Amino acid sequence: MTYSFSLKFPQKIIFGPGKLADLESIIGRFGSQPLLLLGSRSFSATGHYRFLQELFVKLGINCHTAQIGSEPTPRMIDSIVRQFSDSGIDLVIAIGGGSTLDGGKAVSAMLAEGEEITRFLEGVGTESPSGRKVPFIAIPTTSGTGSEATSNAVITSVGRNGFKSSLRHDNYLPNLALVDPALTLSCPQALTVACGMDCFSQLVEGYLSTNGSPPADALALEGTRAIGRSLRRVYADGGNLAARTDLSYAALLSGIVLCNSGLGTVHGFASALGGLFAIPHGVVCGTLMAKTNSLTLKRLRVGSKDQPALVKYTKLGEIFSNQAGKTSAWYQDYFINELERLTADLGIAKLGTYGVKISDIGNIVDQTGNKYNPIQLAKEDLANILADRID
């Protein structure tokens, strides 16, 4: 068999509980005047933050600090860049959830570009980024977006003419992805669930993507197995470090898969909804995942029975059922049923909770892409998916 593909990864990945300590021996390779970008303010009260502060003092590093506690906006990024543009920053370290990592990615790029970020956003700006950046280290404290392994930063402007758009260049892959699952132990249950479903949807959409490749598919399945082992375990016991490690591993792999295979309709919805409503990205992914896959599978079954995506749905069902000797259709249905069970058991909110109304469906559908979905869903299909998850 002949293969043709390319793969993108962070320059270096360090993974494992307690690995935050490795920063002491490696930080000097990247810079000596870092800007530390933090997510939630609660992190500042943790032992992990005290470790970082003591580390910088020990190494004689003058570290500047800024906050990115929400989805990054153009105004937020531009403000941080202006504040530190003359501070000699030669390294950006972002430690937090996916929004914080995206913000760090954007700041590292815009410190080099010296321009307002809107000029470079896909579908919004008029210029292509050069790829220049200040070295960037990504340290996630949640297990969701996989931003520590992607080459884009999602920037959001919520409102009537809002958008959720990416700053993207292959050079924006982090110079170091340092993933310490111990940092996720204090993540609240609701946020853990939203992040876990975001990660899960990225793995599944990347696996089913029409832009996939055998190596990326293998990583997607590896991450999916980790989700199957541990998402419910973490929901029941957030202090289970082994299960937290599984989810951190799955999130890292989901970022690699996303970066190389692209995503499908669930994330098409998330992009549209994120620009119109203040709704967490992971909630959108989690609440729409079952219905979107159910309808995708239904439409695939109308065509040829040997479609690659049908074979993949069968494989997903095998992973979650742990049963042998069933038919392909049985495994496919099992996977959809498992998604529906997870949606209910994990208490994932419907879109109406965040102000989305039936009257908004047309506008959302008009802005929703199907780019790498294994079958192109009609606008009527998209509308039905949304209607099912509003009320």
Confidence (pTM): 0.95
pLDDT at residue 379 tops 80: yes
What pLDDT does 194 receive? 94
SS3 250: helix
Q: How confident is the model at residue 1 (pLDDT cuts 50, 70, 90)?
A: low
Distance CA 344, CA 252 (A): 26
**Which tens digit of pLDDT belongs to each residue from 308-366?**
999 999 999 999 998 999 999 999 999 999 999 999 999 999 999 999 999 999 999 99
CATH superfamily of 189-388: Dehydroquinate synthase-like - alpha domain (1.20.1090.10)
Quickly state the pLDDT bin for 110 (edges 50, 70, 90).
Answer: very high
Q: How far out from the chain centre does Cα 83 lie?
A: 28
pLDDT digit string (tens) for 6-63? 889 999 999 999 999 999 999 999 999 999 999 877 787 788 989 999 999 999 998 9
User: Tens of pLDDT along 176-212?
Assistant: 999 999 999 999 999 999 999 999 999 999 999 999 9
Predicted confidence (pLDDT) at residue 122 exceeds the cutoff of 80: yes
The domain segmentation of the chain, as residue ranges, is: 13-184, 189-388
Contacts of residues 308-314 at CB distance under 8 Å and 24 or more positions apart, as own/partner, are 308/374, 309/208, 309/374, 309/375, 312/207, 312/208, 312/217, 312/374, 313/208
Report domain 13-184's class.
alpha beta
Name the band, by pLDDT with cuts 50, 70 and 90, for residue 257. Answer: very high
| Orientation of helix 281-302 relative to helix 189-208, angle to 10° | 30
